[in-house]
């Protein structure tokens, strides 16, 4: 499975006035964007920063970290006399997500406007848009050619990879190195591009800033929940249907989203959450809301907003495909990740094929705990999440695989759901 932005269907939650999605085809032009209130003059950076903090804007890239804290940290470096830099991170290596590419292709001015506002707050004179999709890069370059933006903005394009979107990998690539994560410290907000304090923020996160600039924190909080305010973009895949990009308020019930997607909640056998990172949930999770606090309480997460729906797919086979992907896509820099993803992929592959033993499952359980937090980035955590959630939410199915009694996987060669082609073999967003 590789989700693309080409001809992607979009949909807005019933009754919601969209903040990010738009009707029409092709990129939004400068005239349309400015007519809708874009590129407004700015005056007081402290006031806007206060509105962002009051709005409670969380990062949309996966970690849900408050943007205001990032802005405050880099702004403090600017006020202390240091040169600062801002990066709009649109390298969407997550195979189940397409929101960032959609925004860059269709609303490049919205992203650039948000980047401009963030740069203004932190005093940056240089900014970058970091992408791997050549179509997104072309749309941003075309927008830059007609927009009068300050600071100076450059587009940096790298080869697509799961780990290329990690913030230190983005900084390393912009600095001329490989798009692979680096050890911490230093963190990029202290020493990033060209050694300067750098704000790296997901493009969807930045795309919310013009709305806050125009309407304020209270209007932003009119949708969503107290702890997860605002709207977000959700990529919904699976269930034998084409992917759809939805704009939703945080807290929207999963069951209602499935109904909107024309999938019966009763037909769901599981969910793959947060793209490939946050793990699996059982069918009872359809009663939950799509917000960070609710999913965190279930031991999962919303991550980048990608949700894959399992109906006829065997969760064991799904876990095997995802772990095989993590094994292939790790950076190859850290022994714990290189060896750990390979080991967990081997066990889940054997489990899918009816060849795993009880001792294999004991090892998988142990690895899903002890390997967390190791390495330069969170790739190993994502792999551990898949393994742990499979064992937690589908114990009967796991035992059936050990016994060789899973009916859907008896012909296991045909049961490879959510398998991802090697990224180098996929034309970006074809």
- 208 plus 328 within the same structural domain: no
- 198 plus 326 within the same structural domain: no
Residue at 234 is within a domain: no
Residue at 4 is within a domain: no
Q: Which domain holds residue 163?
A: 11-220
- 213 plus 322 within the same structural domain: no
- 208 plus 329 within the same structural domain: no
- 41 plus 189 within the same structural domain: yes
Buried b / exposed e across 243-259, counting CB within 10 Å, b at 16+?
Answer: bbbbbbbbbbbbbbbbe
CATH at residue 392: 1.20.1440.230
Instruction: Tell which residue, 115, 119, 96, has the closest CA to residue 104.
Output: 115
- Domain end residue (candidates: 220, 243, 264): 220
Residue 323 bridge partners (DSSP): none
Residue 156 bridge partners (DSSP): 130
Contact 234, 257 (CB under 8 A): yes
Cα gap 206→194, rounded to integer Å: 22
Cα gap 197→79, rounded to integer Å: 12
- 44 plus 157 within the same structural domain: yes
Contact 274, 262 (CB under 8 A): no
Residue at 278 is within a domain: no
- 215 plus 320 within the same structural domain: no
- 214 plus 329 within the same structural domain: no
Handedness of CA 296, 87, 208, 121 (dihedral sign): positive
- 215 plus 334 within the same structural domain: no
Contact 363, 347 (CB under 8 A): yes
DSSP for 366-380, please give it. Answer: HHHHHTTT-SSSSHH
- 209 plus 320 within the same structural domain: no
Instruction: Tell which residue, 358, 253, 245, has the closest CA to residue 304.
Output: 245
CATH at residue 127: 3.40.50.11540
3-class secondary-structure state, position 149: coil
Distances, alpha carbon 249 to alpha carbons 13, 187, 203, 291, 298, in Å: 8, 32, 18, 9, 19
Residue at 301 is within a domain: no
- 210 plus 348 within the same structural domain: no
- Domain end residue (candidates: 199, 220, 241): 220
- Domain end residue (candidates: 220, 245, 271): 220
The predicted structure's pLDDT at residue 1: 47
Residue at 370 is within a domain: yes
Residue at 201 is within a domain: yes
| Number of compact structural domains in the chain | 2
DSSP for 82-116, please give it. Answer: ---EEEEE-----TT--HHHHHHHH-HHHHHHHHH
Cα gap 155→157, rounded to integer Å: 7
pLDDT in tens, the chain (430 residues): 445 555 689 999 999 999 999 977 778 999 999 999 999 988 899 999 999 999 999 999 988 999 999 999 999 999 999 999 999 999 998 988 999 999 999 999 999 999 999 999 999 999 999 999 999 999 999 999 999 888 999 999 999 999 999 999 999 999 999 999 999 999 999 999 999 999 999 999 999 999 999 999 999 999 999 999 999 999 999 998 999 999 999 999 999 999 999 999 999 999 999 999 999 999 999 999 999 999 999 999 999 999 999 998 899 999 999 999 999 999 899 999 999 999 999 999 999 988 999 999 999 999 999 999 888 898 999 999 999 999 999 999 999 999 876 766 665 454 566 665 443 323 333 2
Q: Is the peptide bond before 185 cis (omega within 30 degrees of 0)?
A: yes
Give the CA count within 13 Å in the CB-facing half-sphere of 214. 16
Residue at 273 is within a domain: no
DSSP for 304-367, please give it. Answer: TSEEEEESSS-HHHHHHHHHHHHHHHS-S--HHHHHHHHHHHHHHHHHHTT---HHHHHHHHHH
Cβ neighbourhood burial of 353 (10 Å; 0-12, 13-18, 19+): middle
Contact 364, 406 (CB under 8 A): no
- 49 plus 164 within the same structural domain: yes
Give the helix ranges, DSSP H, for 123-268.
Answer: 134-146, 167-174, 203-207, 209-215, 217-220, 254-260
Longest dimension (CA), the chain: 67
Residue at 31 is within a domain: yes
């Amino acid at each position: 499975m590789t989700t693309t932005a080409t001809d992607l269907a979009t949909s807005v939650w019933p009754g919601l006035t969209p903040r990010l999605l738009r009707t029409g085809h092709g990129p939004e032009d400068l005239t349309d964007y400015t007519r809708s209130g874009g590129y407004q003059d700015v005056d007081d950076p402290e006031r806007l920063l206060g509105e962002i903090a009051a709005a409670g804007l969380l990062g949309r890239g996966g970690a849900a970290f408050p943007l205001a804290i990032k802005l405050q940290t880099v702004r403090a470096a600017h006020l202390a006399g240091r040169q600062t830099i801002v990066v709009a991170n649109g390298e969407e290596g997550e195979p189940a997500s397409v929101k960032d590419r959609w925004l860059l292709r269709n609303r490049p001015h919205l992203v650039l406007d948000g980047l401009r506002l963030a740069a203004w707050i932190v005093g940056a004179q240089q900014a970058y848009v970091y992408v791997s999709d050549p179509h997104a890069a072309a749309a941003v370059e075309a927008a830059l050619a007609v927009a009068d933006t300050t600071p100076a903005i450059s587009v940096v394009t790298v080869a697509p990879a799961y780990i290329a979107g990690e913030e230190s990998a983005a900084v390393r690539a912009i600095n001329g190195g490989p798009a692979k994560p680096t050890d911490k410290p230093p963190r990029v907000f202290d020493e990033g591009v060209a050694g300067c304090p750098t704000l790296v923020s997901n493009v969807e996160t930045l795309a919310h800033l013009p709305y806050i600039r125009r309407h304020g924190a209270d209007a932003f909080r009119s949708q969503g929940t107290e702890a997860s305010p605002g709207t977000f973009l959700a990529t919904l895949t699976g269930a034998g249907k084409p992917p759809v990009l939805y704009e939703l308020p945080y807290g929207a019930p999963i069951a209602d989203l499935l109904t909107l997607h024309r999938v019966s909640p009763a037909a769901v056998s599981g969910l793959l959450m947060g793209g490939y990172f946050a793990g699996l949930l059982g069918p009872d999770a359809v009663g939950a809301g799509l917000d960070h606090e609710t999913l965190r309480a279930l031991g999962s997460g919303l991550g980048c907003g990608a949700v894959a729906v399992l109906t006829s797919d065997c969760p064991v086979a799904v876990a095997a495909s995802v772990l095989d992907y993590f094994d292939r896509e790790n950076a190859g820099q850290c022994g714990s990740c290189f060896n750990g993803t390979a080991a967990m992929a081997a066990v889940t592959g054997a489990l899918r094929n009816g060849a795993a033993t009880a001792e294999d499952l004991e090892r998988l359980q142990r690895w899903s705990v002890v390997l967390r937090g190791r390495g330069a980035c969170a790739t190993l955590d994502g792999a551990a999440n898949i393994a742990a959630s499979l064992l937690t939410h589908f114990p009967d199915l796991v035992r059936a695989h050990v016994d060789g009694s899973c009916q859907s996987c008896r012909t296991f060669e045909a049961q490879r759901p959510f398998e991802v082609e090697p990224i180098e073999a996929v034309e970006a967003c074809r």
